[in-house]
Every structure is written in structure tokens, then in C-alpha cells.
Amino acid sequence: MTYEIGKAEVPRMETGLADLGRFSDPSLLILASLAGGPKHGYAMIEDIETMASVRLGPGTLYGALARLEQRGLIEPLPAEERRRPYRLTGVGVVALREQLTSLESFATTGLRRLAASWG
């Protein structure tokens, strides 16, 4: 199932990227995509859709890219033809690892509770 992000509010996350407000989820998806290596916008949209079954709209993507770049979590690389690739910075790697570790702990706890209560 594919979801369009950019038209509805996304819940805020409690740590790391929480100050990005409703763009926390797209920002996390972008960082996770760039963890696989540098990509330009369209490649990120396709990778995120494959990885998470979420298709970011161009406005959502480029708005989140601008905020991530302002915070030093990603950096642009020299343009290739008309495409500008981006890559994670060291700070971006730390932020992504923190978020994914937090989500992993949350998912593990939730699954353990489900198993205990619902079998």
C-alpha cells in the first residue's frame, strides 16, 4: 500500500528530529534512503516508495531536503546534469542511528506486549 505524505499531519517524534514538526516522518525516510548512498530527488522518491511503501510528493521532498540541509544532516553534491544528489553528513548518520534505535526499541516493546496479551 502506498501513502501520499504532504497533505496530512504526521505525528511528531519525541527525540532527535522532533523539532522538524510534521516533517519528521519524511525527514526520517530521506535520511534512511541516503544511508544507502548519495541520491538525487527522484531516486530518493523511488527508493522511499520501495523501502517504505510511501511516495513523497516533490514539495514535501524538497522542503524536507532544505530543512535537513539547514540542520547539517545532509549536504548537496555537485550537480550531475540537471540533478543534484545529496548525501548524509556525520551528524546525519548519528541522528538517523538514534532515531532508528529508538524506533527499534519501541517496535520490540510493542510486539512483546502484543504477544503477551493477544498471543
Tell me what pLDDT residue 3 has.
46
Number of structural domains in the chain = 1
Range of the domain at 15: 3-118
Average pLDDT of the segment spanning 16-36:
77
* CATH assignment of the domain containing 71: 1.10.10.10
pLDDT (tens digit per residue) in 30-39: 999 999 999 9
pLDDT (tens digit per residue) in 37-74: 999 999 999 999 999 999 999 999 999 999 999 999 99
Question: What residue type is assigned to position 24 of the chain?
Answer: S
pLDDT > 70: percent of the chain:
80
Contact 26, 64 (CB under 8 A): yes
**Which has the higher per-residue pLDDT, 4 or 68?**
68
Please give, one letter per residue, the 3-state secondary structure of the chain: CCEEECCCCCCCCCCCCHHHHHHHHHHHHHHHHHCCCCECHHHHHHHHHHHHCEEECHHHHHHHHHHHHHCCCEEECCCECCECCEEECHHHHHHHHHHHHHHHHHHHHHHHHHHHHHC
Average pLDDT of the segment spanning 63-88:
95
